[in-house]
Structure 1
Amino acid sequence: MQRQILFRCPRTGTNVEHRFDDERPEGAGPADSYVPVRCPACMSLHFVNSTTGRLLNEPGAQPGSTPRSA
């Protein structure tokens, strides 16, 4: 079975849909982990949280992280 997530490409600002297989192989990492996803909008590799759909560098994506001001 597959589930669909939606994330925003940080380069183009385009909403991107991606499907993950819910079946996890034995010995796989935790369900709340970041996986590489090839973005069709910019053809780059983004790391997306397989549970929440948030990007690795997105503010608030990591527990305990706080956005920094420039």
Structure 2
Amino acid sequence: GISCFPVQQHGAVAGVILFFTALSAALAPLLMGMISDYFGHVRYGFYLATGFAVILFLAMLFNYLRDPSASALEQ
């Protein structure tokens, strides 16, 4: 993701990516625990994690098939 931006912006883009990575690492387990407690069994938290994994897979598949960053990388 960083390579799609000019060299002068690499630090800022890395910071944004790091922020969202840390946010996800903090919120995803919290949401899994909340869902598990709400529905009364840990399996529901893992259903949520599976849903997140499916969303991540679909986003990866979109990036692979459509290659939206190709024009930025050509420059």
Which structure is higher in strand share?
1
TM-score (norm 1): 0.26
Higher relative contact order (CA 8 A, sep 6+): 2
Provide the TM-score with structure 2 as the length reference.
0.25
Tell me which structure has the larger Cα radius of gyration. Answer: 2
